[in-house]
Amino acid sequence: MRLNIPETGYTDHHTHPASRCRILTECDARAASTWDEARTIIAAHIAANPSRELYVAHGWNQSTWGTPTVADLDALTDKELIVINVSYHGAITRKGIVTEKDYEELAIATLPRYDDLLVAIPKYHAYLSSLGVVAAHDMHLATMDQIDAYLELDRRGELAVDTTAFVNPRLLDDPRLAEIVANPSPRFRVAGLKLFLDGAIGVHTAFVTEPYLDTHDRGMLRHSKDECVALIKKSLALGLATPAIHAIGDAAVSTVLDVYKALKADGFDTRGWRIEHCEMVRPGDIPRIAALGAVPVMQPNFHWDLDHYGDRLGGNLRLINPFRPLLDAGVKILFGSDGMPEGPKVGIEYAMNRAKYPEQMITLEEALTAYGIKTH
C-alpha cells in the first residue's frame, strides 16, 4: 500500500543544528561499517587538511567499528584527534576514551565560533529544509556564540527553519539570557533549560534499573534529584518555561518523574515539561507521565537499538519506545531525530515498520501528528 506522506511541514522536535553543523567541515565517517573503513576516511580527511591542528571525526559505533585504541589514533596523526561516538555522549582521543561530563566539556570547547556559525547554520538548515523540516528544536545551546549567531541570522532573514532553543545550565548565569528569553526574534526563541540526566546505551552510560548484561553496571546519573530541582527553579525564574531533561535509561526516566513530581508539589505546573528521548520506559511509569502532563520527545529511529543492543539489554529491549501504551494512556508524544539520522520520513518508516514488539508500532496518522503535521 502506498502511503500518503507529506513532502514538507514537519517539526523536528529534537535536533542539534548549532552543534552538529560542525560536521560540514569535519570528518564525516558515519557511513563506515568497520574501523578499517573509518580509518581510511579519517586518513583521507587528514591528508586533505594538512594545516589543521585539530581533527574531529564523527561516527564511532562500537557495534560496527569496535573500539579503536589510542595506538590506532596515534597511527593516523601526531596532532590532536577526536573521534566522536554516534551517540554524542563519548569520544576517543589520543589520551583515551572520554564520556559524559568530560566529553561535553571537550565538545563545547571545540564548537564552531560565531563567524563560522553564521555560515554553517544556514547550510545545515538548508539540509533540514530539503527533508521537509520547517521547524526545529535545537536541544543544546551551550555558548552565547550559538545564540548570537541565531539572532544575527534571524535579523538578516537567513534562518530557513523556525528554531526553538534549549540551553545548557552553564548559560543560566549569563546576564543577557533573561532579556533574550523575554524578547524572542521572529524565527528564533529560547524556550527552556536542557539537562542531561544520564547518557546513552551505546557507551553504557544510560541509567538502567537492571544492570547491563555485558558490563554488569547500571550506567550513571549526571545530576541528583535535588540538583535538577534547583537548576529547573533557577531556569524558571529566568523565564525559561519548559524544562527538558535527557533520559535514555528506564531508571533515568523514573528519576525525571521524581524531579517533576517534587516540583509539582512545590506548586509548579508540570504540563508540557519534556522528557528528551524517554527511550526505555517501565510500564508502571506510564501513568506517572500522564498524571504529570509530561511530554516524551522520542526518536522512532532509535528502533535501531532493537537490532544492536540485545547483548546488553536482553529482554529489556521491550522497554524501548513504547509508543502505543503511551498514546493509549493519553500521553502526548513528540518526535524528533537527534540527527541519527535526520529526516521525518526515516522516522515514520521506523515507527511503522521497524519494531520488534506491537507496543513499539503506531499508525501513519499518529506518526505525522508526533512530527507536528495536522491530519484533520
Question: What's the pTM?
Answer: 0.96
- Return the pLDDT at 140: 97
CB-count exposure of residue 315 (10 Å: 0-12, 13-18, 19+): exposed
- Return the pLDDT at 1: 42
Q: What is the CATH number of domain 114-370?
A: 3.20.20.140
- Return the pLDDT at 6: 94
- Return the pLDDT at 341: 86
- Return the pLDDT at 376: 66
Yes or no: say if 58 and 28 are a contact pair by the CB < 8 Å rule.
Answer: yes
Query: CATH fold of 26-109, please?
Result: Diaminopimelate Epimerase; Chain A, domain 1 (3.10.310)
The 10 Å Cβ neighbour count of residue 328 is: 12
In the predicted model, residues of the chain with pLDDT beneath 70 are 1-3, 376
- Where b means 16+ CB within 10 Å and e means fewer, 139-158 reads bbbbbbbbbebbbbbbeeee
The structural domains of the chain, with segments of one domain joined by +, span 26-109, 114-370
Yes or no: say if 115 and 96 are a contact pair by the CB < 8 Å rule.
Answer: no
Question: What's the chain look like in SS3?
Answer: CCCCCCCCCEEEEEECHHHHHHHHCCEECCCCCCHHHHHHHHHHHHHHCCCCCEEEEEEECHHHHCCCCHHHHHCCCCCEEEEEECCCCEEEECCEEEEHHHHHHHHHHCCCCHHHHHHHHHHHHHHHHHCCEEEEEEEEECCHHHHHHHHHHHHHCCCCCEEEEEECHHHCCCCCHHHHHHCCECCEEEEEEEEECCCCHHHCCCCCCCCCCCCCCCCCCCCCHHHHHHHHHHHHHCCCCCCEEEECCHHHHHHHHHHHHHHHHCCCCCCCCEEEECCECCHHHHHHHHHHCCEEEECHHHHHHHHHCHHHHHHHHHHECCHHHHHHCCCCCEECCCCCCCCHHHHHHHHHHCCCCHHHCCCHHHHHHHCCCCCC
- Return the pLDDT at 123: 98
Q: Name the residue with cell 539489554.
A: 313
Closest CA to 53 of 78, 79, 84, 74: 79
* Per-residue CA distances from 40 to 44, 50, 87 (Å): 6, 16, 22
